[in-house]
A and B are shown apart, each in its own frame.
Chain A
Amino acid sequence: MFVNQFLILAAVLFCIGVYGVIARKNAVLVLMSIELILNSVNINLLAFSMRNGSLDGHTFALYIIAIAAAEVGVGLAMVLLMYRNRRSIDLDELSEMKG
């Protein structure tokens, strides 16, 4: 097993996630793309953990899973609120922050 095979896989997933974040309009799909990005980071952490023979990567992978759960909870609550207020979860309609 090469180290790079895991890292390249993670890079591919990361870039697909980035594409999703940029291309998708639906808020739920954007959240899913963010999950892809977070998972690619986890693969990276565990790959390096194995390469270096240290357990630090495992610890942080677990922390990232917990953070991701919190992020999805809050994110979906916001999507719900958005839907309730404007009957749509399209992100391009949310431009009140325009400077």
Chain B
Amino acid sequence: MFASEVLVAQNIGFAILATIMVIGALRVVTTSNVVHAALWLVVVLAGAAAQYILLAAEFVAITQVLVYIGAVMVLFLFGTMLTRARIGAESDLNNKNWFFGIPVALALFVAMAIALDSGFGSQKMPADAAVATTQEISDQIFGPYLLPFWALSFVLLAAVVGAIVLARRD
């Protein structure tokens, strides 16, 4: 009984979060103000972090908040500031051919929806999924997935060097 109540609560939480995320995402791609778009993106990312907690991934959720909302969004706002003198509504943020996006996105969604429905139907998540601890994740990263971790370190290094080279004034 108790477990099912928790599951119901989870489902309600999921529905609220999902609604907020979809609305936020739609506003990101439709708003006519770049700063507003960035702030709506914060909403979506925070919602995603909450979803991660629902999916028993606490460490990833914390990382999402720290890295995305903390660092990446600040980068976006800086980027907007440095490239736009004027912060406010604009009329020409979209392409001339922006309507091409609608059929493409819809077609993709239809394809994925059909595939997911036939693939997973009414499968349920395991009700008693254990929360992944940070220790287990670090065992994964520094154990079998050490090589991708190294590769990733090099990617980050290259990104840092590349960003400096690109952005510096000389």
Direct contact of A and B (CB under 8 A): yes
A interface with B by C-beta (< 8 Å): 1-9, 11-26, 28-29, 31-33, 35-36, 39, 42-43, 46-47, 49-51, 53, 55-56, 58-59, 61-63, 65-74, 76-81, 83-84, 89-92
Q: Contact at B75–A72, with CB atoms within 8 Å?
A: yes
- A48 CB → nearest B CB, Å: 10
Contacts of B106 in A (CB 8 A): 15
Contacts of B104 in A (CB 8 A): 18-19, 22
In chain A, what residue has the closest Cβ to B137? A58
16 contacts between A and B (CB under 8 A): A2-B125, A4-B123, A5-B11, A14-B112, A17-B29, A21-B101, A23-B98, A29-B29, A36-B28, A50-B56, A58-B137, A59-B141, A69-B71, A72-B76, A76-B78, A83-B82
Interface residues contributed by chain B, number (CB under 8 Å): 86
Q: Contact at B101–A19, with CB atoms within 8 Å?
A: yes
B interface with A by C-beta (< 8 Å): 7, 10-11, 14, 18, 21-22, 25-26, 28-29, 34, 37-38, 41, 44-45, 48, 51-52, 54-57, 59-60, 63-64, 67-68, 71-72, 75-76, 78-80, 82-83, 92-96, 98-102, 104-106, 108-109, 112-113, 116-117, 120-126, 129, 132, 136-137, 140-141, 145, 148-149, 152, 155-156, 158-160, 162-164, 166-167, 169
Q: Contact at B72–A62, with CB atoms within 8 Å?
A: no
The majority secondary structure among interface residues of chain A is helix
Contacts of A77 in B (CB 8 A): 162-164, 166-167
Pick the residue among B92, B93, B100, B116 that contacts A8 (CB under 8 A): B116
Q: Contact at A16–B137, with CB atoms within 8 Å?
A: no
A15 CA / B25 CA spacing, docked (Å) = 10
A57 CA / B101 CA spacing, docked (Å) = 30
